[in-house]
Structure 1
């Protein structure tokens, strides 16, 4: 009888510093702003609907985002990748689920002075393993990355 042992896979997260050029920095700033706006807008919409006696969820926020993108006043939402905007709604959905499960920590509005972030899923960036280059959606050139340690595998948001 032969026994096989399955090795457990350990996922490790590493942070790397990157140096965007002026155009990439502008795009990242715009993405951060749009992500924050979408999150805050969905949270405000949720509060407004709750006051009217309606419950909202991710699907409602997503429909509202589509409506916002069609509004001429918010045409700038189309300038950035839609993936970080969708992820902002997913993060709000998770925040509400945690709030409803635990009963504390109602989701808060994001502000400019807080931590700026945007979550890119694997379908919103290109990874060239051979050249060790990462290009985010809607960017023309790969980001300049300072590799503090060798990178093996495929970048992910998991």
Structure 2
């Protein structure tokens, strides 16, 4: 069966491409904020990206599909708000560490081949660290950047996913804060240890606290304290590394379960918050991510989830 599947790769744009991405982030953010503010004004009709282009010619220089997707994202945010799934939409800030925009693939405007990425409005191809093969048809591409330094592309593809072989086995799962899951069947899981990264985080956060104290003694604002900001980025990177390690482990465990069992029964017990602390390996947020992965993977590979 055909399903939507995502791929994420690191990209390495040159200076011209980097400038284009940063400008597009700004145009998309500007469009989203303008559309939101105009909806908040009493008696004001909904605006469109086309109308904004007439008022602000600089928007014509960027990818029109990126602006259209900004409008779609705002509409989705309002639907979530009216359905009680989220709060009222907020203005986007340029101070956010992550910035992004999404463009659609129209007749080959987005292509990936031989570690190069083709995107609309860019004359030159973008270098991609393609660590695995992309199968299926590319539907959209999301360009994102952290602090305008690290750039990534996320590709949404429609591809044929063959079902896994039936095993006839059944497993029951519950949440375990130390091992992620407890099960009534024997299954060898990958090794998972975060002691080293946790130690690095503790040391880095202690160093960050010292630099914060030093900045205050010198009466320097934290945003202007170079040593503090440098160490802050080190701490952020360590937390990102830890999150990626956890995510990778969740991917491996969820696939092993779907591969080895035809029927997966999950008892979603709520963890007592008194037991959930920094000494436990897995938190409730990890368990919820695991449930999300199990849900779509059982659907992909024609297995049953209870």
The TM-score normalised by the length of structure 2 is 0.42
Is residue 109–residue 118 contact of structure 2 (8 Å, CA) maintained in 1? yes
Indicate the residue corresponding to 1:5 in structure 2.
none
Indicate the residue corresponding to 1:70 in structure 2.
54
Residue of 108, 113, 118 corresponding to 2:95 = 113
Q: 1:90 to 1:10 in 2, by over 3 A?
A: closer
Is residue 38–residue 85 contact of structure 1 (8 Å, CA) maintained in 2? yes
Task: Deviation per CA, 1:90-116: give whole Å up to 9, x if none.
Answer: 000010011111175000100012221
The residue correspondences of 1:1-158 to structure 2 (distance < 5 A) are 8-48=1-41, 51-52=42-43, 60-62=46-48, 65-71=49-55, 74-102=56-84, 104-114=86-96, 115-123=98-106, 125-127=109-111, 129=113, 131=114, 133-157=116-140, 158=156
SS in 1 for 2:38: helix
Point out where structure 2 has 5 or more consecutive residues left out of the alignment: 141-155, 157-306
Q: 1:70 to 1:11 in 2, by over 3 A?
A: closer
Distance 2:87 2:33 in 1: 16
Bigger Rg, structure 1 or 2:
2
Higher strand share: 2
Residue 125 of structure 1 deviates from its aligned partner by 2.7
Range with greater deviation from structure 2 (10-19 or 22-31): 10-19
SS in 2 for 1:125: coil
Distance 1:29 1:137 in 2: 15
Q: 1:104 to 1:17 in 2, by over 3 A?
A: closer
Residue 10 of structure 1 deviates from its aligned partner by 4.4
Higher relative contact order (CA 8 A, sep 6+): 1
RMSD of aligned residue pairs (Cα, Å) = 2.0
Point out where structure 1 has 5 or more consecutive residues left out of the alignment: 1-7
Distance 2:17 2:87 in 1: 34
